[in-house]
Structure 1
């Protein structure tokens, strides 16, 4: 009985070591294949369509025709209700919203006659801008709530460019200044 228990334990220990090393080899091989696909034309071809859609979603801006206090309260209320929003803080004449810890970063410029809200910076990883679905969900909720409250809402678009001054990985993209 004791000998069978030791054999079972040895099989489990040896199997665990084999599993660990095999899993790391498969993960490393998978990582290399993924990197080659993204760096090669095949990866670009596959991600081009969805990336363009996500980039369009990230460029969506809203203009709320309300006083800054009312618009700021509405935006803060909607943003805090989303689980992926990690920080909301006021700045001079603005509200800054961070999604997933740091990016995308959304800024609501609070002006006396209107408020313009949109993404000002984002990260680009794995062939896509990150956080597009979250921003689209928040923007849609803000637009619907504002319309429900009788606040005029206008939509616009922004373009982005890779920020060459930001170092490291992932890539940071910011609003293109004309």
Structure 2
């Protein structure tokens, strides 16, 4: 088993590698909201699914050498807060242990839209996932089309797109610009922080 585990991570990292997009850390930092999720194994991202992670904040640390993610997941009927910090690996991927091993890449970054691509290995199979997030609470038609294109390029059926906004259980940043910290302080869900 000791040989299989490193080999699997290497396979996942190699599979996730493509020509790396140049990441502008200033466009990654800040408060984000998950708008859409899609996966080739849809049961992982439906409401109550283990990988229906709803991003709230993403930070690039040290020129994106580290990626900090703040997100919520509804587990056992309760919306729970998580913080993950991962170090960039070769090929501009980040490895995150959450409901299995996840190889994460930022595949599209603009001023108001960010898309992550994740390959999750749960011990039995690999699930490919995209998460489309925005600075606001929706995508324009052009942004949604871009999101669909990114899914198609990765073999994820667009009929598997889930609208995350409709069932979002997590606190939001207020339109007045109040920080997320005030929402975190009053949220009663579990908070977990890990550095990988």
TM-score by length of 1: 0.35
Larger Rg: 1
Structure richer in strand, relative to its length: 2
TM-score by length of 2: 0.33
